[in-house]
Amino acid sequence: MPYWVFAFLILLPASLHAEEELRTWTDQTGKFQIEARLHEVKGNQVTLHTKDGREITVAIDVLSEKDQALLKKQPAANPFGGGTMLSNKPEPKPTPSGPPQELLTKEAMPTELPVGGQPIGLSINSEPTAIAADPGPAAATFHPFSTELEKVDAYAKLSRPVLVEPEQALYAISVHRVGNSVSPDHFGRLYLASPQHPEGQVVLDLPETLVLLDHYPATDRTLIVVGVDSPSQRGGDLVLLEGLAAGTPTALARWHLPEWQKPGFKPKVEYARLLDSEKAVVHINSSIYVWDLQAGKSIFTMKDARPGKLQLSGGQRYLAIPYRGAVCVVDLKEGKQLCALPSPTSTTPDVAFSPDGTKLAMIAGNQYQTWNLPEARVEHEGTIAQTMGVLFGWLDNELLLTQLGGLIDPALGASLWRYTLPPGNETPTTQPGGVVMLNGSSTTPKSMLAVAVPHAPVKAVRQKLADGGDDIFLTRPGTEVALKVESLPDVDEKIILDGLKTAVERAGWVVNPDASIVLVAKIDRADEINLNFRFIGGAPAGAQQAARLKPYTNSLEIRHGDDILWKRHRENMVPRLLRIEDGETVQQAVTRYERADPEYFSRLQIPPRILKPEVSQSIGRSTIQDQKWQD
């Protein structure tokens, strides 16, 4: 017997028996299918009841031609059907619990937020269209400063710094300790800091966890979540505050998240931003909602959405929703998808709108792409020498700051400088002129730190690179390169060579066996390693079994004489969750993954432009020491 056993108990209401028969529904691409019954056709939306007991709403134009033809045969809906029976008592509207002073206590009894807003259908197959710029407010002058917080232990969780009052450069940050920390002094605090108040001010101190999500400076409204589980960061209630900039935040409304009582898998806020004084867009588990948090009303819903990290335009009108292969752009004012912009890779990209609202940047791996939104065209795209990691955001309308690639100039097609932020800065705050981040460790006091980016040395390097033109690059489109393959006897070298040619042509280079720049592709074996697996499902709890793996390795080096200009290395490994087939041992299952991958080289994204070694030496690296950049 396999070690995988799944059991589902599905309770369906009796009314479903009168619906259409269960059938397979397919999207336009043919990649996605679902077994469901037709429940309702309304406007350009169709509601389906899935085999596993869910109700989903899908845009009709997302469905296959066959499914759309089926829907056209359905009888017209009765415009006078449905409705709700009147009663002597009006249905109570959801309201926040209790007076404001009680909303931040553990005794508060919030109402669950509704989820029945107007559905917005999402499709990655929608063609790019022109999108009017949605700029944010004019940026205030950036002011470097450092604010020391308290010493926190290794279990403490800190939010990203959030701008509260631009003119004063006033920022807020939340700190909460998880439940398993030793003798915690507190659970959740909200701090304010600015150049005028470098000591940091505690403006909210709660006996439960508090996570700062966003702030809307125009009306001094703030969005937080309180009572999340630790360390999973699930559950909790959304709370709307007022008066943070003045140092006296007061709760206006508090709401339970949808399905807050669901056993074993509480809802988790993945992303949340305020759109104005009352409305917020919130990504919870696999759904995106737009709520009026003052009235407790659901405005829009986007169900069954499993995107990457969402991003909001500066004027809070457009929402970028990244998926594998494309980024959907939704107009939150009109409640509709505008288009889908193809991304540079098949993986889910990180995205960010430029401050002036005219551009959308996408990065994935070592590839980037910037879209000119009003003209619906790609403005810049390219591949740089190093993986970029997380996209922190735009520093102005021309430069991008990334986690590993540093400061990227998309127009130049190169990294200008490597900025290494302290650990714990997965989401620092970028704005024109600099970045606001966290500094410190579990053994030293934490601080909120605002530093200039780019700083003086980088400006000089940028000018040097801009003045150098194509002469600063050793390779660029049209460069001639030679190919060399070093492989194991049991691997077909022709597959490697053909794949390498594909990658070279994609970079715009020309193959010449006599060229001085040589690409060396290798397939080899790494040292044998021991792996331990714990069974789940059909075996005794905690049972473990060992297996051995000797991985195959793929590597590529671009050489010019003794210099290695660029390289990539990969080992084939087993997945963290290993499926055991019927009658198979763990070792046999592991051995299935012990194989060469000669097609790897055809998938490589080689940077078309590589700086000359003497030029790349002028591109430095900076780290934080003593609250400032150390080059």
Q: 301, 257, 273, 263: which is closest to 112 by C-alpha?
A: 257
Q: With bands split at pLDDT 50, 70 and 90, how would you rate the model's confidence at 2?
A: very low
Average pLDDT over residues 413-424: 87
> Taking a C-beta distance cutoff of 8 angstroms, is the pair 346, 605 a contact?
no
Confidence grade of residue 573 (pLDDT, cut at 50, 70, 90): confident
Q: What is residue 508's predicted lDDT score, i.e. its pLDDT?
A: 92
List the beta strands (DSSP E) in 497-630: 510-511, 517-525, 529-534, 544-549, 552-560, 563-571, 610-611, 621-625, 628-630
pLDDT of residue 77: 56
Query: DSSP for 400-453?
Result: EEETTTEEEETTTTEEEEEEEPPTT-SS-EEETTEEEEEE--TTS--EEEEEES
Question: What pLDDT is attached to residue 100?
Answer: 56
Q: Flag the least confident range among 15-24, 243-252, 404-413.
A: 15-24
Question: How far is it, in rounded angstroms, from Cα 450 to Cα 520?
Answer: 44
* Cβ contact 421:624 at 8 Å: yes
Window from 186-190, 316-320, 432-436 with minimum mean pLDDT: 186-190
Residue 279 has pLDDT above 90, yes or no: yes
Given this model, what pLDDT does residue 68 score? Answer: 86
Is the bond preceding 231 in cis, omega lying within 30 degrees of 0? yes
Q: What integer is the mean pLDDT of 560-567?
A: 87
User: Most distant CA pair in the chain: distance in Å?
Assistant: 90
Question: pLDDT tens for residues 37-79?
Answer: 888 887 778 888 887 777 788 888 888 888 888 887 776 655 5
pLDDT of 179 reads 59
List 60's β-bridge partners, or say none: none
Closest by CA position to 283, among listed 239, 243, 319? 319
For the ranges 125-134, 336-345, 456-465, 475-484, which has the lowest average pLDDT?
456-465
Q: Check pLDDT > 50 for residue 617.
A: yes
Closest by CA to 22, choosing from 10, 36, 11, is 36
The residue with greater pLDDT, 279 or 86, is: 279
Residue 564 in contact with residue 532, Cβ under 8 Å? no
pLDDT of 82-119, one tens digit each?
444 443 433 334 444 445 568 888 788 899 999 989 99
Q: Give the mean model confidence (pLDDT) for residues 481-501.
A: 94
Q: Quick one: average pLDDT of 134-146?
A: 89
One-letter amino acid for residue 39 of the chain: H
- If you average pLDDT over residues 269-292, what whole number do you get? 95
Strand, coil or helix: what is 62? helix
Residue-wise pLDDT tens digits, 300-351:
999 877 889 999 999 999 999 999 889 999 999 999 999 999 987 778 999 9
User: What CA–CA distances, in Å, run from 388 to 56, 327, 351, 364, 564?
Assistant: 36, 19, 13, 7, 20
Query: Of 14 and 260, which is predicted with more confidence?
Result: 260
User: What are residue 517's DSSP bridge partners?
Assistant: 560
pLDDT at site 324: 87
Contacts of residue 599, defined as CB under 8 A and 6 or more positions apart, other chains included, come to: 495, 499
Task: In whole angstroms, give the CA distance from residue 145 to residue 133.
Answer: 32
More confident residue, 97 or 18: 97
* pLDDT given for residue 4 in this prediction: 40
Looking only at the bridges linking them, the beta strands covering 429-431 and 434-439 are antiparallel
pLDDT at 608 over 50: yes
Residue 276, pLDDT above cutoff 90:
yes
185 band by pLDDT with thresholds 50, 70 and 90: low
